[in-house]
C-alpha cells in the first residue's frame, strides 16, 4: 500500500506536476568524493576545526557583501574569512542549567539540580539592515544574543520576560527564522520552532519585533499580543493528548515577494477522536509548506499545504533540506518561468514514516514559487466558495466548515477573520530531478553559472554531488 493511502483505506488527493516530464532527464551529475583530503588536482582542502571534536557545527551563513563566514556551533559562534581563517570567536557555553528551570536561572533562582550544559546553536541569522548577527541557542529555555558583525561583540541578550524564551529543544534542525527588514523602521523576525511538549511555554510559530535599538524594551516582543488575537500559534494541549509525540519541526524558511514561507515536518493527526499514542516510529509524517503575509500581525493569512514529489510511483514525502534560488535561463525556460522568478530546491526521503531515522532512498526536487502560490490561491478560492472544511485538525481539533463569502481572492490576498487558519490535503508536487537509493541526500544549495542552475547536494556519508541542467 502506498504511504499516502495509509490504514484509512482512501488515497490522499494528489496533483500531478505541471512541469515538463523530461526536465529530470536533462540533468546530469558529478560526484566529488570529499571524504578524502585532496581533490583530483592535488590541491589540499582548506579546513577549520573546532577546539573539541565533540562540539558539532550547527549552522553556517555567508555575508552576501563581504563573504565573511559565520558559524554557529555547540558552545561557540565563529567569524571566519573566505579562506577559513579564524577572525574572532564568541563563547556561548557550556553553562550550569536545567531544562526544567522556567523561568531560567539567569532571571530567578531555580530549585532544580544544575549541571554543566552545552549550548546548541539553533538559529543564526544576519540582520543586514542593522549590521548584527542573531544567534539563538538551547540554554536557558532558548534565549538569543545580538552580536555585532564586525567583532561578535555582544549587543544585548534579552532574557527577562517570557517572550525571550524561544524553545529549550537542544536538537538542531528543529527551528528556523526569517528576518523581514522594513525600510527606515524596525524589522520583524518570523520564527518557527519545535516545542517538545511545552506548548504552554512556547508558540510553534510567531512573529516578533526586531527594533533597530538593541536596548529597546520591545526586543523580541510579539508583533501583536492581546486577549483575542496574537501574532503567534500554539499547539493545543488536546493535540498532544491525541498524539503524545506531536511536534512541528521547522526545516527551512524564506521570504519571497510579500510572503514568508516555512517548510515543516509534523506527525499526522487522526481525523476522529481516537488517540494515537504510539512511538514516533509508528507515526505517519507530512511535510508541509506554510505561508504568511509579511505584514499580517493577526496571522489571518496562515495557510498550510502538504508538499512532496513522486517518481516512478515512489512517493518522497519526508523533507530533509531545502534552498531558495534563482533558476537561471535554462531551467527557467524548462519550467516556463522567468529567470528572475524564485525556485525552491528540496530534498525528500522516501515515504512518510521514520522521520527521525529516514530511509536512504531520497530525491532532489524543484518547485516554483509561482506554482506554490497558485496552489495556495486555489485552496483559498475553494474555501471561500464554501467547499469542504479548514482541514487543520492539529490546531482546530475538529472539522470546521469553510464559510462561503463573496470575497475576491487575488495573488496578494492576506486573509480575513473567517476561513482561517487554513490547511489542506491537496499535495503541492514538485518535479523530481534526481534520486539516490544508497547514500541519503541531506543538504542542498545552488547558484547560477552562465545561465545554468547548478545544485550541490551533500550526502549522509560526506560526499558532495554536483547536479546541473544539460
Dihedral sign of CA atoms 400, 401, 406, 407 in order: positive
Distances in whole angstroms, Cα of residue 183 to Cα of each of 159, 180, 223, 383, 424? 27, 10, 17, 35, 34
Contact predicate 307/430, CB 8 Å:
yes
- What pLDDT digit, counting tens, does each position of 208-261 carry? 999 999 999 999 999 999 988 999 999 999 998 889 889 999 999 999 999 999
Rounded distance between C-alpha atoms, residue 124 and residue 181, angstroms: 16
432 by Cβ neighbours in 10 Å (0-12 / 13-18 / 19+) ranks as: buried
| Per-residue pLDDT at 19 | 42
HEC profile for 167-213? CCCCCCCCEEEEEEEECCEEEEEEEEECCCCCCCCCCCEEEEEECCC
On whether residue 349 sits in a domain, the answer given is yes
355 is in which domain, residue-wise? 24-36+51-469
List, for residues 107-122, the tens digit of each pLDDT value: 889 999 999 999 999 9
Q: Which residues of the chain have pLDDT under 70?
A: 1-43, 271-281, 469-470
- Residue 71: Cβ-neighbour burial (10 angstroms; 0-12, 13-18, 19+): buried
Residue 93 lies in a domain: yes
| Nearest by Cα to 164 from 187, 183, 197, 139 | 139
For the chain, give the number of residues.
470
Residue 427 domain-assigned?
Answer: yes
Burial 311-329 (b: 16+ CB within 10 A, else e): beebbbbbbbbbbbbbbbb
DSSP state of 393: H
**Domain-embedded: residue 300:** yes
pLDDT at 288: 98
pLDDT attached to residue 277: 57
Q: What whole-number distance in Å separates Cα of residue 141 and Cα of residue 98?
A: 9
Coil, strand, or helix at residue 432? strand
Q: If you search the block for the grid coordinates 564586525, which residue do you land on?
A: 150
Q: Where are the beta strands (DSSP E) in 6-68?
A: 27-32, 57-62
Residue 465 domain-assigned (yes or no): yes
Q: Is residue 41 part of a domain?
A: no
Q: Which residues, 6 or more positions from 31, have their beta carbon under 8 angstroms from its beta carbon?
A: 463, 464, 465, 466
Domain count along the chain = 1
Closest by CA to 365, choosing from 461, 444, 437, is: 444
The CATH number linked to 149 is 2.130.10.10
pLDDT at position 4, please?
37
In a domain, 19, yes or no: no
Whether 17 is covered by a domain: the verdict is: no
CB atoms within 10 A of CB 111: 9
Amino acid at each position: 500500500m502506498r504511504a499516502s493511502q495509509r490504514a484509512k483505506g482512501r488515497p490522499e488527493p494528489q496533483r500531478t506536476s505541471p512541469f515538463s516530464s523530461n526536465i529530470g532527464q536533462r540533468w546530469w551529475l558529478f560526484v566529488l568524493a570529499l571524504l578524502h583530503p585532496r581533490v583530483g588536482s592535488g590541491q589540499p582542502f582548506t579546513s577549520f576545526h573546532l577546539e573539541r571534536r565533540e562540539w558539532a557545527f550547527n549552522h553556517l551563513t555567508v555575508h552576501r557583501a563581504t563573504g565573511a563566514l559565520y558559524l554557529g556551533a555547540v558552545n561557540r559562534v565563529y567569524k571566519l574569512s573566505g579562506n577559513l581563517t579564524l577572525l574572532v570567536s564568541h563563547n556561548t557555553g557550556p553553562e550550569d542549567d536545567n531544562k526544567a528551570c522556567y523561568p531560567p536561572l539567569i532571571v530567578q533562582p531555580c530549585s532544580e539540580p544544575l549541571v554543566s550544559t552545552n549550548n546548541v546553536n539553533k538559529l543564526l541569522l544576519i540582520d543586514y539592515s542593522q549590521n548584527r548577527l542573531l544567534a539563538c541557542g538551547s540554554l536557558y529555555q532558548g534565549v538569543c544574543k545580538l552580536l555585532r558583525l564586525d567583532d561578535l561583540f555582544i549587543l544585548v541578550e534579552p532574557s527577562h520576560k517570557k517572550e525571550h524564551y524561544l524553545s529549550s529543544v537542544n536538537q538542531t534542525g528543529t527551528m528556523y527564522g526569517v528576518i523581514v527588514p522594513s525600510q527606515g523602521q524596525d524589522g520583524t523576525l518570523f520564527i518557527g520552532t519545535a516545542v517538545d511538549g511545552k506548548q504552554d511555554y512556547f508558540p510553534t510559530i510567531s512573529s516578533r519585533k526586531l527594533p533597530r535599538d538593541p536596548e529597546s524594551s520591545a526586543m523580541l516582543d510579539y508583533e501583536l499580543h492581546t486577549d483575542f488575537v496574537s501574532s503567534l500559534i500554539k499547539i493545543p494541549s488536546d493535540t498532544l493528548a491525541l498524539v503524545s509525540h506531536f511536534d512541528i519541526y521547522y526545516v527551512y524558511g524564506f521570504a519571497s515577494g510579500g510572503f514568508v514561507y516555512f517548510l515543516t515536518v509534523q506527525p499526522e493527526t487522526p481525523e476522529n477522536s481516537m488517540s494515537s499514542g504510539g512511538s514516533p516510529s509508528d507515526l505517519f509524517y507530512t511535510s508541509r509548506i506554510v505561508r504568511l503575509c509579511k505584514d499580517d500581525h493577526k496571522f489571518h493569512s496562515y495557510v498550510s499545504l502538504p508538499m512532496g514529489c513522486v517518481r516512478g510511483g515512489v512517493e518522497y514525502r519526508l523533507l530533509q533540506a531545502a534552498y531558495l534560488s534563482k533558476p537561471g535561463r535554462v531551467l527557467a525556460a524548462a519550467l516556463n518561468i522567468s529567470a528572475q522568478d524564485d525556485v525552491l530546491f528540496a530534498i525528500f526521503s522516501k515515504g512518510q514514516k521514520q522521520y527521525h531515522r529516514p530511509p536512504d532512498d531520497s530525491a532532489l526536487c524543484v518547485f516554483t514559487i509561482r506554482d506554490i502560490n497558485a496552489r495556495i490561491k486555489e485552496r483559498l478560492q475553494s474555501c471561500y466558495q464554501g467547499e469542504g472544511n479548514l482541514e487543520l485538525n492539529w490546531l482546530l481539533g475538529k472539522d470546521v466548515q469553510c464559510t462561503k463569502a463573496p470575497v475576491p481572492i487575488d495573488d496578494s490576498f492576506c486573509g480575513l477573520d473567517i476561513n482561517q487558519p487554513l490547511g489542506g490535503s491537496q499535495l503541492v508536487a514538485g518535479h523530481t530531478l534526481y534520486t539516490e537509493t544508497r547514500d541519503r541526500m541531506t543538504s542542498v544549495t545552488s547558484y547560477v553559472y552562465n545561465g545554468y542552475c547548478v545544485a550541490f547536494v551533500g550526502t549522509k556519508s560526506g560526499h558532495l554531488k554536483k547536479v546541473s541542467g544539460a
